[in-house]
Amino acid sequence: MDIRDRINAALKTAMKEKQTDRLSTLRLINAAFKDRDIAARGSDDSPGAASDAELMQILGRMVKQRQESVRAYEEGGRLELADAERAEIEVIEEFLPRKLSDAEVETAIDDAIAETEATSIRDMGKVIGVLKGKYTGQMDFGLVGPMVKKRLS
């Protein structure tokens, strides 16, 4: 079952069980996917519907946006809005693969360096590209970048 099917099934379940908060988050996810598909239709080099990897990137961005909103709301003393954002994060993360542990991230970086035969900091882009291709949604690339840089320095 691909990600779109899983989200649509969850959407139907949320409708039947009258889970309004969950339903609105699932609708936001569907809207983001449709926006991506519409944007792809306009370009000649795109195959149309987004791949699961692209959809995982969209979900990852949605989580990141909400995490930033949580920080902003907490700084502003709007705890009820921060709680709402956290609830949305939980729903979105249900469809992302599990996060890798620190040891698994280290192993993945080592494997990517070996695969790309990277030897210097100039090869960092290749290594990150391989990691993004294999582990989108499973690791925080904001943290992985400095780790790769340290290994290649």
pLDDT at 1: 64
Query: pLDDT at residue 72 above 80?
Result: yes
Distances (CA, A) of 43 to 30, 38, 40, 55, 99: 21, 9, 6, 18, 33
Q: Is the pLDDT of residue 150 over 90?
A: no
Of 93, 112, 140, the last residue of a domain is 93
- Do residues 91 and 22 touch, judged by C-beta distance below 8 A? yes
Average pLDDT, the chain: 87
Asked if 68 and 82 count as a contact pair (C-beta separation under 8 A), the reply is: no
pLDDT given at position 152:
84
Give yes or no for a contact between 98 and 135, defined as CB atoms under 8 angstroms apart. no
Can you tell me which residue has the tokens 């400095």?
146
Reduce the DSSP state of residue 21 to 3 states and report it: helix
Number of domains, the chain: 2
| 19 and 66 within one domain | yes
User: Helix or strand or coil: residue 87?
Assistant: helix
pTM for the structure as a whole: 0.72
Same domain, 13 and 63: yes
Task: Indicate whether 106 and 88 sit together in one domain.
Answer: no
Could you say which of 65, 93, 121 is where a domain stops? 93
Q: What is the CATH number of the domain that holds 115?
A: 1.10.10.410
Q: Could you tell me the residue range of the domain that residue 111 belongs to?
A: 102-152
CA 129/CA 109 separation, integer angstroms: 11
Residues 62 and 109 in one domain: no
Those residues whose C-beta lies under 8 Å from the C-beta of residue 1, and which sit 6 or more positions away, are 9
- Statement to judge: residues 37 and 64 lie in one domain: yes
pLDDT of residue 44: 59
